[in-house]
Amino acid sequence: MKFLEIKKSISTLARTFVREIGLVFRFHPGTASALAVTQLIIGLMPAAVLFFTADIVSIVAKQEGEWSQDLVRDLVVLLILLLVQRIAFQFFDYFQDRLMNLLYLSVSNRIHQKIITLDLPTLEKSETQTMITFFRDQNYRPYNMVRSVFNFFGNIVSSISFIVIAWRFSPLLITIFVLALIPGLIAAVKAVLDSQHLTWGKTFIMKRTWYLQNLFSGITSITELLVHGAVKKMTEKYRVFYGDIVEKERQISAKKLFSGLLTNLLAFAAYVWAYISLVTQAITGAFSVGDFTLYAGAFVNAERFLVSQVWQFVLLFENVSYLEKFYELEAMESTIKNISGATELVDKDLEIEFKNVSYNYSDSDQKVLQNISFVLKPGERVALVGENGAGKTTLIKLLLRLYEPTSGQILINGKDIQSYTLESLRKRIAVTFQDFLKLALTARENIALGVGGIEIGLEEARAAAIRSGADDKISSLPKGYETCLGRGWEDDGVELSGGEWQKVALARSLIKDASLLVLDEPTAALDARSEFNFFQELFNREGNISLFLISHRFSSVRVADRILVLQKGKLIESGTHEELIKKNGLYRELYELQLKEIN
């Protein structure tokens, strides 16, 4: 390595150590301090034990079967030190396990809390998804950080204490001994730097591997793979992807192996030289048997702790990628957030206006929506139709401020949508997406998700389920509304059909005290009778709630007050079912195609 590379590596190592220490102490200062004190005691104990052991050997060698006062004193001190050492190890294990678990919990929680503050465009980026995969793949790093930081600290204390003792014998030998470790340390640091690139590259493959793993863990996906005879193909893909991971891991291990061999061989050569020098001087009577025990033990332990120190360097350095990504994630800022001076949206009646709204993804110039303009009045039932990819769901995400318009403006009661807080805006709008969550929780808890997961009573949950048509099924379950849906957590959980799950998802929206109800393909998994009953109940509800309905079923949309027709991101038609039929445009074409399919 060139000098500048060595300097950069040492600087990175020092920064990494400071950042890891800072992270550990910042999250749990009390437990970290207790662990540091315990490790200090443990680090000093080996040299102290060796010193008094050597002194006892010297006294015994001079005595002739008598217990002198010095011998008793040294023996008592030695036994006390050994007892303190044992107790310190017990406390160290306790504090280390506690700190490891606390740090893992804290870091994981910080990652989760940060992720949920990011806006949808940021989360949808491939780089962000790769980062999230990286944290999942490297979730053992908080544990490693605790172990490496405090083992590093303990090794420093032990190494210095033994170097001080060995220095008394030969400053030259111990200097050579320490210098012999430098090439191995440099090789180890270089191996870690090289492996960081491999680790990040491995994360891209891990994304695909976990995707394939999920295919083999879901009943629905396994069933489809079996039906299409694609199990062997997907299994082979998994084998290939995981084979790439195994190869990258081998490359990382090979680099560590080389640096490890270099470190141990050079350290062993210096150790042999030191030991021969010790034996030579002991034979000539240059020092006592006790001194020989002291110095030989010092060199033995110095070699052990210094070589171990190199690997503590490596372990510290291996956390660089994790720390960099952790701080990179923490530094991320959502572009969609409350503006200064944003107010609460408290109005029950909402008039929503889209004024020349356009949207395109940041990595594309192609517009998903182009100059969309319409008004949704309080209590109005508006349907949104169009072919797949027309931009229907994107429009809803703009209304929820999951996306921001590239151009144009969305107004609520005459004010820009950004003038309201995100929390109050989303509280006034209830949404059921086509791809809704199926949570392995009780039926009551699943419905409560619609009001943020807060505790709700049985009657409140049941009222929403009655309106969505889910009550009959839920009431027939073994534990009623306290039955766990799905078998993800509980052995006695009950799996629902697609249509039954959709009714539960609809109940989440209906339990919310919203001003606008947005339904994205709400009846896709319902039969015709359930669909008819659902809309009858929905449209007969009291109050002035507005309804935004996205559906491919014209039996649903034809009862709307107004229908908006999207095509390739443009609003091309608007009117009632009868008016659009008379226009003889896209709506009529799609409607007649559906009639032919039914007939």
DSSP string of 530-544?
A: HHHHHHHHHHT-SS-
Question: How many Å apart are CA 74 and CA 353, to the nearest integer?
Answer: 89
Residue type, 240: V
* Separation of alpha carbons 494 and 101, rounded Å: 33
Look up residue 400 and give its DSSP letter. T
- Residue intervals of the chain classified under CATH 3.40.50.300 are 345-428+515-599, 436-513
Query: Which residues of the chain form CATH 1.20.1560.10?
Result: 3-331
120 vs 487: CA distance, rounded Å: 30
Task: Name beta bridge partners: 409.
Answer: 355
Dihedral sign computed on CA atoms, order 307, 311, 317, 319: negative
User: What is the rounded distance in angstroms from the CA atom of residue 149 to the CA atom of residue 21?
Assistant: 7
* Residue 542: predicted pLDDT: 42
Show the beta-strand stretches assigned E in 377-460: 381-386, 407-412, 415-416, 429-432
- What lies within 8 Å, CB to CB, of 88 at 6+ separation is 38, 41, 42, 45
Taking the C-alpha atoms of residue 139 and residue 437, their distance in angstroms, rounded to an integer, is: 25
**Rounded alpha-carbon distances, angstroms, from residue 315 to 137, 266, 364:** 17, 20, 42
- pLDDT of 68 reads 82
Identify the pLDDT of residue 22: 83
Which CATH architecture does the domain made up of 436-513 adopt? 3-Layer(aba) Sandwich (3.40)
560 conformational bin, left if phi > 0, alpha if psi -120 to 50, beta if neither: beta
414: region left, alpha or beta (phi > 0 left; psi from -120 to 50 alpha): left
Segment holding 76, helix H or strand E:
helix 69-115
Where do runs of H (alpha helix) occur along 216-230?
A: 219-227
Please report the pLDDT score of residue 1 as a whole number. 45
Q: Options 1.20.1560.10, 3.90.78.10, 3.90.79.10, 3.40.1670.10; which CATH number does 3-331 get?
A: 1.20.1560.10
Q: How many CB atoms lie within 10 A of CB 224?
A: 13
Question: What are the start-end ranges of the E strands in 312-420?
Answer: 352-359, 369-376, 381-386, 407-412, 415-416
Cα-to-chain-centroid distance, residue 333: 17
Cβ neighbours around 29 below 10 Å, total? 10
Beta-bridge partner residues of 547 = 381, 517
User: Which pLDDT score, from 0 to 100, does residue 194 have?
Assistant: 63
Q: Which residues pair with 574 in a beta bridge?
A: 564
DSSP three-state, residue 391: coil
Any alpha helices (H) in 119-230, and if so which ranges? 120-124, 126-137, 141-169, 171-179, 182-215, 219-227
Largest alpha-carbon pair distance within the chain?
A: 121
Positive/negative CA dihedral, 581, 587, 593, 598: negative
Q: Which residue has the tokens 């510290």?
A: 316
The whole-angstrom separation of Cα 118 and Cα 323 is 19
CB of 144 closer than 8 Å to CB of 321: no
- Percent helix, strand, coil in the chain, to 5, is 65, 10, 25
By the 8 A CB rule, do 563 and 576 touch?
yes
Per CATH, the homologous superfamily of domain 345-428+515-599 is P-loop containing nucleotide triphosphate hydrolases (3.40.50.300)
Task: Report the DSSP beta bridge partners of residue 571.
Answer: 566
Helix (H, G, I), strand (E, B) or coil at 561: coil
Amino acid 193: pLDDT:
63
DSSP 8-state secondary structure symbol assigned to residue 523: T
Distance in angstroms (rounded) separating the CA atoms of residues 406 and 367: 9
pLDDT of the residue at 462: 92
Residue 441 CB-half CA count within 13 A: 14
Phi, psi of 319 (to 5 degrees): -85, 0
374, burial (CB in 10 Å: exposed 0-12, middle 13-18, buried 19+): middle
Query: From CA 376, how far away is CA 396, in angstroms rounded?
Result: 13
Rg from Cα positions in the chain: 35
* Contact residues for 356 (Cβ-Cβ < 8 A; gap 6+): 371, 372, 373, 407, 408, 409
Nearest Cα to Cα of residue 573 among 591, 594, 593, 598 = 591
Q: What is the mean pLDDT of each run of 10 residues along the chain (599 residues)?
A: 57 72 86 92 91 86 75 90 92 91 88 87 84 82 84 86 85 78 68 60 66 71 70 78 76 72 74 78 77 82 75 72 82 87 89 94 82 92 86 90 93 94 90 82 87 82 87 91 79 80 86 86 67 65 72 76 91 92 89 69
d(CA 102, CA 107): 9
**pLDDT score recorded for residue 490:** 66
